[in-house]
Amino acid sequence: MQKNQVFQLVLAIFFVTVLFPVASFAVVPFDLQSQGVFRSARVTINGGDTRTRTRSVVLSFTKGTADVESMRIANSPEIGNVSWQPYSSRKEWFLDFGRGEKVVYVQFRSTNGDISTTFSDAIILDVDPQPFIEMTVNDGDDSTFDRTVTVSSTVSEGVEHMQISNSSDFSDVPWLPVQESLRWSLPTGEGKKTVYVRYRDAQGRTFIKKQSIIVVPFGQLLEAGDIVTSPGDSIYYYGFDGELHDYPSLAVFHTWFDDFDFGDIVYVSNVELSQYPVGESVSPRPGSWLVRFGVDSQEVFAVEPGYVLRPFLSEIEKELLYGLDWKKRVITINQAERVHYTLRSFSEAIASGATDEDGDGLDSDLERRYGSSDTKVDSDGDGLSDLEEIRFLSSDPGVVDSNGNGIADGAMVRSGKLPTGGALTTLPEHTYSYARGTVVSNPDGKGLYFFSSDGKLRAMSSQIYRTDPTVSGFIVYPPYPILIGRTSTMSRDDGYTYAYPTRYRQGKIERL
């Protein structure tokens, strides 16, 4: 090695170790000039506290003078394989289980791709060696007429999660944040019933509590899944949650039962019916039906599990998914029922801090680059939304006729052609998708597929759709073939979301 090369190497080491010191626990390739903008960056746990009794902490970030767009966080210095996420100045974070010192690591990435060195902060997780846990069913009552009971929990700080079950087997039971009070359904039938609750603290230790209560019969006990009515009253679904859920209209009822035998309804007296608590109304069956709220409304939604409404990008999207006669799938629901539903926003995927004034799923900067307007969903008025043109069809959102053939882009799609030329033989991959809960036919007609609650396409087993009479009337036959790659088979949870009314609770979909 020549002298000038040795001198350059020594000079480089001097700049790295003296002028720009970095944390010694991580070695990350970086450009010396770019690291200056990250020098004042840091992460702080709980505002600089030295100890915490819970794993849940709040991280505060300072990004320095760099134009930071993303960051990645880990509980280990091995941060290289962690996914990037949009930059935020504060974030809730969970430390690893176990007592002792916990370190959180973070890296920042600027808009031009520069990656900072790894920054960290430490805190002591001080878990109570003997946590206090108390559980009661109906405040300790010996008996109940109602299968739906109240489970109360009183715990000390650091006891984070709980599982609840009607048996001592918790293998398929999800962990929930500890609830002071929650409603729980005992098994059907009379007699002694035992509720089991398993708690988990910040050290990862588990503690099981149980309490028994006797169910005293009152008239006829309903079974979960029964369709119930009483003289002069509405039709109800008796759920697995131990509550009655009314069908707000016959139209909603028939979205669940294409050909229902009304001889299967359980008839009870008004007195018996009054003994059961009443929950929220049943929503239309997800996936297969479209809804509007009120006869004068022009806004149409697809229904997804958990009382979620999915809007459409355009009228053309409805035709591409359901065909020209899509209006036959629309049912009208009383406007008062709208309060039970949550609207899925197109803007959910937009990075934190970005603006999307028209709510079409494209941020203002992207629309500016493509020449479209952030105050109009369909800037050029060709029948296709800006998002469809930019992300799905590669057409110009600011020009009515992208390929200059004299036919508007929307009219091209309606005629079975792509706006930029060529035949529309299948829906472009990763573009248009059916609502979660939809059962669709295979293009060759030899199988059914199900859009699960996580948005993935799954194969529906032949045993399910051949033996389940509620499926046949609600299959969607796509006007354009859907691309079917490798798919997994439906899980038990998938079965819940297509066969039973559902709701969201604790961030999870569960059957009523």
The pLDDT confidence band at residue 463, using thresholds 50, 70 and 90, is low
Same fold, 3-125 and 133-215: yes
Other CB atoms within 10 A of residue 168 CB: 10
* Exposure string for 297-322, b = 16+ CB within 10 A, e = fewer: eeebbbbbbbbbbbebbbebbbbbbb
Q: Is the pLDDT of residue 309 over 70?
A: yes
Over residues 338-383, the pLDDT tens digits come to 888 888 877 665 666 677 676 777 777 777 887 777 778 777 888 8
Superfamily holding 133-215: Immunoglobulins (2.60.40.10)
DSSP, res 392? I
Q: What is the pTM of this model?
A: 0.56
In the prediction, which pLDDT does 443 show?
Answer: 65
In the prediction, which pLDDT does 462 show?
Answer: 56
DSSP, res 487? -
The pLDDT confidence band at residue 35, using thresholds 50, 70 and 90, is low
In the prediction, which pLDDT does 21 show?
Answer: 44
Over residues 217-268, the pLDDT tens digits come to 655 567 778 888 877 778 888 888 788 888 888 888 888 876 666 667 788 7
**Rounded-to-integer distance, Cα 340 and Cα 304, Å:** 13
The pLDDT confidence band at residue 32, using thresholds 50, 70 and 90, is very low
Over residues 54-108, the pLDDT tens digits come to 888 899 998 877 788 889 999 999 998 899 988 888 888 888 888 889 899 999 9
Over residues 427-446, the pLDDT tens digits come to 776 788 888 888 887 766 66
In the prediction, which pLDDT does 196 show?
Answer: 96
Domain residue spans of the chain: 3-125, 133-215, 227-273, 346-414, 439-511
The CATH number of 3-125, from 3.40.50.1000, 2.60.40.10, 1.10.10.10, 3.50.50.60, is 2.60.40.10
Q: Is the pLDDT of residue 135 over 90?
A: yes
Average pLDDT over residues 187-212: 90
116 close to 144: Cβ distance less than 8 angstroms: no
489 close to 458: Cβ distance less than 8 angstroms: yes
In the prediction, which pLDDT does 231 show?
Answer: 74
Q: What residue has token string 């609840």?
A: 164
Closest of 169, 176, 137, 171 to residue 153, by C-alpha:
137
Q: Which two tokens stand for residue 160?
A: 């984070």
The pLDDT confidence band at residue 496, using thresholds 50, 70 and 90, is low
